[in-house]
Amino acid sequence: MAVPETRVDLTETELAAWRGLLRVHTALVKALDAELAAAHDLPLSSYEVLITLESAPDRKRRMAELADSVLLSRSGMTRLVDRLEREGLLVRDTCTDDGRGCFAVLTEKGAELLERARPTHLEGVRERFLVHFSEDELRRFASAWERVLPGAASAD
């Protein structure tokens, strides 16, 4: 007897919810990155690293930790930290506990730039994204992401 065919196409609503996510993300990130780069010569990816460092104990974090927190490969993080170190926004510090390891530490210059860049960025996020939603809707978003994230990475 016939097993019901797996439905293939998406409904209008499904498509709108999914493709909308793609478009919104791409557009927002592009705009915010351009804005930040124009105002402070700081790409969004660099900003994310500095923000992560700032909120860390002693303003320092391991490389792998950083890579995970901004979803970048280890080698990608090596080079991003290279660039930031070249600009004096952070320095590498040897890890005494683990000879293989290495810390990235936010410098004063990095902290200062971050202080200037933060209002720009947060204003951008607010004007382009947050402003459209109520507190309640934002909570729905947050809960939605919590449901999706665990199963997003692995292949099920």
Binding residues for its own copies, per CB under 8 A?
6, 8-10, 13-14, 16-18, 20-31, 35, 71, 118-119, 122-123, 125-130, 132-133, 135, 137-142, 144-149, 151-156
Distance CA 74, CA 64 (A): 6
- Residues whose CB is less than 8 angstroms from the CB of residue 73 and which lie 6 or more positions away in sequence, other chains included: 67
Rounded-to-5 percentages of helix, strand, coil across the chain:
65, 10, 25
CB atoms within 10 A of CB 85: 16
Nearer to DNA, 131 or 152 (CB): 152
Nearer to its own copies, 35 or 85 (CB): 35
Closest CA to 86 of 104, 68, 64: 104
Minimum Å distance from CB 83 to DNA? 6
> Which listed option, DNA, its own copies, none, makes contact with residue 99 (CB within 5 to 8 Å by class)?
DNA
Instruction: Provide the binding-site residues for DNA, judged by CB under 7 A.
Output: 34, 43, 45, 62-65, 71-83, 92, 95, 98-102
